[in-house]
């Protein structure tokens, strides 16, 4: 329908974005009527997401002809911003920002570095930036899920944890089951994406590659590569969090902090 | 006069809520001898649980000292302190897994060998012989509380802190657990601080009673003296 009304690519894009924004807003309003708190965040998230993707689109257009290494500061900035977003999910966790920064540097950062060095991620900027950003974005979600779940587990198992401490357990041992639960829960979406790949879900980058004329088999394989990298990055960042998170939730006298 | 195993000296705790600092406990002092039960009573919110949590450092004192066998808690690691000062809470909070797993937990944390035979002996003491392989999370409230007592005793503590250990139990289980605890204290000669809001229970189990109101000691003495004044 829209295609009949808008003839240039830009105007079509704007119309398409406007249309989905309106439908999302309607859902947000409905959600809010039902008392879902998430409803309130949606309009702002929409505007923010749109502005950001437009900005990065323009930057990419500029950088496309630049040297490959300009991707490095760009991806670094993305990791820093992702860490601030994770922190907002767990505002009362002390040191949440540096914690997520370390975790995502080890996860997304490590995977991008190794895979680019091994030639698995093409280091041309038009590939490195979108693929890298995909890994970082998913890593951010996984990291948020991890910390969110971990803190929720602590809150609902305060009695068990303090019982363990009272028996002389190391803080790390006292929270080990809850780190495990958080680890498991945070990787569920990435695992399900891998499991349903191609059946329930033909992801964007494959669509993009097909549209731009790549061989379907190569596009399929590469899609698998990306999801596997997302999974690996997520796993690495959670492993790092498993090591670093316990010290943030205990005082130096091995007392479980309150109000996390 | 025997040496007190547990001694609190001018123990205080203040908490900061927003910009406001509020004292919850002020200058609490007492001593408990081996084999003695000190009952701690007082109205809800008086600070009884907080006091116990200072004694094994689950909460941090803002002032004063806790001495275990004459050693300040500050010169013990929290883990060592907590092994020596055992605690039983109002609810059992057993860990998922078997009863054996729960009873072994404390020794395992300290690298102390602890066999199922050792566990069986403890289970027998708390009246739960033969329960070792049971799933801990399927036990009744009274059974679970007995396991949590066995779990605490497995660490061979010198001090036993009890925070209303029978208040979540039905009358039969309550009486049985009360008798069990009183017996354990006498047999093992541990120093026991027992929080209870039940004056009849305090009269039954206590050698002395400490009454706290609004974070301060208002009475300390024999049950007859303290409870008489109360009534
Ligand atoms: N971390 C904390 N921050 C703020 N206030 C606290 C904190 N811990 C305890 N309090 C307050 O200190 C007071 C004493 O609490 P505590 O749990 O020790 O009372 P209690 O005597 O055990 O009461 P109850 O008989 O109801 O168990 C209460 O007013 C409680 O709200
Ligand atoms: Mg209490």
Q: Which of A63, A80, A96 is the last residue of a domain?
A: A63
Residue A45: per-residue pLDDT: 83
Tell me the CATH number for domain B6-230: 3.40.50.300
- CB within 8 Å: A160 and B110: no
| Residue position matching structure tokens 């002032």 | B63
A49-104 pLDDT, tens per residue? 888 888 878 877 887 777 888 888 989 999 999 999 999 999 999 999 999 999 99
Residue A1: per-residue pLDDT: 63
Q: Are residues A215 and A243 in the same domain?
A: yes
Report whether pLDDT(B147) > 80. yes
Q: Are residues A78 and A169 in the same domain?
A: yes
Higher model confidence: residue A12 or residue B20? B20
Which residue, judged by its Cα, is nearest atom 28 of ligand 1?
Answer: B45
Residue at A105 is within a domain: yes
Q: How many domains does chain A have?
A: 2
pTM: 0.87
Residue A88 Cα to ligand 2 midpoint, Å, equals 34
Buried b (16+ CB within 10 A) or exposed e, A124-163: ebebbbbbbbbbbebbbbbbbbbbbbbbebbeebeebbbb
Residue A38: per-residue pLDDT: 63
Residue B125 Cβ contacting ligand 1 at under 6 Å: no
Which residue in the set B58, B93, B105 is minimally distant from A255, CB to CB? B58
- CB within 8 Å: B95 and A167: no
* B112 at interface of A, judged by CB pairs closer than 8 A: no
Q: Are residues A206 and A80 in the same domain?
A: yes
Q: What is the DSSP letter of B46?
A: S
Q: Are residues A50 and A177 in the same domain?
A: no
Q: Are residues A174 and A241 in the same domain?
A: yes
Q: Are residues A25 and A3 in the same domain?
A: yes
Report whether pLDDT(B119) > 80. yes
Report whether pLDDT(B191) > 80. yes
- CB within 8 Å: A254 and B80: no
A170-214 pLDDT, tens per residue? 999 999 999 999 999 999 998 888 888 777 666 677 777 777 777
Residue at A255 is within a domain: no
The C-alpha of B102 sits at a distance from chain A's nearest C-alpha, in angstroms, of 10
Residue B82 Cα to ligand 1 midpoint, Å, equals 21
Strands annotated E in chain B: 6-17, 20-32, 37-41, 63-68, 71-72, 85-88, 159-163, 191-195, 208-213, 216-221
Residue A200: per-residue pLDDT: 67
Pairing of strands B6-17, B63-68: antiparallel
Q: Kindly indicate the confidence band of residue A2, based on its pLDDT and cuts at 50, 70 and 90.
A: low
Q: Which of ligand 1's atoms lies nearest the C-alpha of B42?
A: 21
- A22-36, B24-38, B129-143: which range is least confident on average? A22-36
Residue B25 Cβ contacting ligand 1 at under 6 Å: no
Between the alpha carbon of residue B73 and those of residues A254, B14, B66, the distances in Å are: 13, 18, 6
Residue B48 Cβ contacting ligand 1 at under 6 Å: yes
Higher model confidence: residue B169 or residue B58? B58
For the beta carbon of residue B214, count every other beta carbon within 10 angstroms: 14
Residue at A256 is within a domain: no
Q: In B, residues 13-32, which contact A (CB 8 Å cutoff)?
A: none
Q: Which of ligand 1's atoms lies nearest the C-alpha of A258?
A: 1
A133-173 pLDDT, tens per residue? 999 999 999 999 999 999 999 999 999 999 999 999 999 99
Residue A209: per-residue pLDDT: 75
A214 three-class SS:
coil
Would you kindly state where each structural domain of chain B is located, as residue ranges? 6-230
Which residue in the set A166, A173, A177 is minimally distant from B58, CB to CB? A166
Residue at A21 is within a domain: yes
- CB within 8 Å: A166 and B110: no
Q: Are residues A122 and A229 in the same domain?
A: yes
Q: Are residues A199 and A245 in the same domain?
A: yes
Residue A202: per-residue pLDDT: 67
Mean pLDDT rounded to a whole number for chain A = 88
Q: Are residues A110 and A19 in the same domain?
A: no
Residue B46 Cα to ligand 1 midpoint, Å, equals 7
Residue B204 Cα to ligand 1 midpoint, Å, equals 26
| Residue position matching structure tokens 């406007």 | A18
Q: Which two tokens stand for residue B113?
A: 């060998």
Q: Which two tokens stand for residue A217?
A: 């088999």
HSE at residue B171, side-chain half, CA atoms within 13 A, is: 0
Which residue in the set B82, B95, B110 is minimally distant from A165, CB to CB? B82
**Pairwise CA distance, residues A152 & A140, whole Å:** 18
Whether B168 and B95 have beta carbons less than 8 Å apart is answered as: no
Which residue in the set A160, A166, A256 is minimally distant from B56, CB to CB? A166
Q: Kindly indicate the confidence band of residue B49, based on its pLDDT and cuts at 50, 70 and 90.
A: very high
Q: What does the pLDDT average to over B114-124?
A: 95
Higher model confidence: residue B26 or residue A1? B26
Chain B: residue nearest A173 by CA? B109
Q: Which of A12, A36, A63 is the last residue of a domain?
A: A63
Residue B41 Cβ contacting ligand 1 at under 6 Å: no
Between the alpha carbon of residue B6 and those of residues A247, A251, B2, B151, B157, the distances in Å are: 30, 24, 12, 21, 12
CA atoms B208, B212, B213, B217: torsion sign: positive
Residue B53 Cβ contacting ligand 1 at under 6 Å: no
Residue B197 Cβ contacting ligand 1 at under 6 Å: yes
Domain that holds residue A39: 1-63
Report whether pLDDT(B231) > 70. no
Q: Which neighbouring-strand residues pair with A101?
A: none
Q: Are residues A170 and A127 in the same domain?
A: yes
Residue B25 Cα to ligand 1 midpoint, Å, equals 10
Q: Are residues A35 and A95 in the same domain?
A: no
Q: Are residues A162 and A204 in the same domain?
A: yes
């Amino acid at each position: 329908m829209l295609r009949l009304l808008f003839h240039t690519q830009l105007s079509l894009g704007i119309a398409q974005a406007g249309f989905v924004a309106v439908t999302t807003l309607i859902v947000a309003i409905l959600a809010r009527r039902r008392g879902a708190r998430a409803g309130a965040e949606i309009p702002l998230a929409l505007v923010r997401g749109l502005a950001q993707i437009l900005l990065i689109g323009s930057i990419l257009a500029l950088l496309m002809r630049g040297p490959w290494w300009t991707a490095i500061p760009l991806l670094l900035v993305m990791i820093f911003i992702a860490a601030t977003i994770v922190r907002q999910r767990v505002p009362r966790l002390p040191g949440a920002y540096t914690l997520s920064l370390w975790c995502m540097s080890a996860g997304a950062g490590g995977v991008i570095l190794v895979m680019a060095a091994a030639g698995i991620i093409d280091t041309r900027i038009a590939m490195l930036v979108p693929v890298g950003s995909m890994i970082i974005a998913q890593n951010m979600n996984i990291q948020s899920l991890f910390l969110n779940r971990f803190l929720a587990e602590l809150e609902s198992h305060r009695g068990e944890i303090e019982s363990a401490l009272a028996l002389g357990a190391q803080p790390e041992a006292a929270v080990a089951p809850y780190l495990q639960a958080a680890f498991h829960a945070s990787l569920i979406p990435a695992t399900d994406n891998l499991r349903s790949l191609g059946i329930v879900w033909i992801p964007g980058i494959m669509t993009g590659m097909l549209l731009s004329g790549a061989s379907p088999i190569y596009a399929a394989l590469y899609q698998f590569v990306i999801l596997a990298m997302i999974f690996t990055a997520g796993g690495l960042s959670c492993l790092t969090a498993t090591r670093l998170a316990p010290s943030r939730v205990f005082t130096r006298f091995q007392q479980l902090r309150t109000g996390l | 006069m025997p040496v007190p195993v547990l001694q609190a000296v001018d123990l205080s705790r203040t908490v900061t809520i927003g910009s406001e600092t509020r004292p919850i406990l002020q200058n609490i002092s007492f001593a408990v001898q081996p084999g003695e039960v000190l009952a701690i009573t007082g109205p809800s919110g008086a600070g009884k649980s907080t006091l116990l949590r200072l004694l094994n450092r689950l909460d941090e004192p803002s002032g004063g000292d806790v001495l275990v066998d004459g050693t300040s808690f500050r010169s013990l690691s929290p883990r060592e302190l907590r092994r020596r000062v055992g605690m039983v809470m109002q609810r059992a909070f057993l860990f998922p897994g078997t009863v054996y797993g729960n009873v072994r937990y404390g020794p395992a944390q300290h690298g102390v060998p602890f066999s199922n035979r050792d566990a069986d002996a403890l289970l027998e003491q708390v009246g739960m012989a033969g329960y070792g392989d049971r799933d801990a999370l399927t036990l009744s409230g009274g059974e679970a509380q007995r396991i949590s007592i066995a779990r605490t005793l497995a660490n061979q503590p010198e001090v036993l802190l009890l925070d209303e250990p029978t208040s979540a139990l039905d009358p039969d289980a309550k009486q049985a657990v009360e008798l069990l605890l009183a017996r354990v204290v006498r047999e093992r000669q541990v120093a026991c601080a027992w929080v209870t809001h039940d004056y009849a229970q305090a009269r039954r189990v206590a050698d002395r009673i400490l009454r706290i109101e609004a974070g301060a000691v208002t009475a300390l003495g024999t049950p007859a003296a303290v409870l008489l004044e109360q009534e």
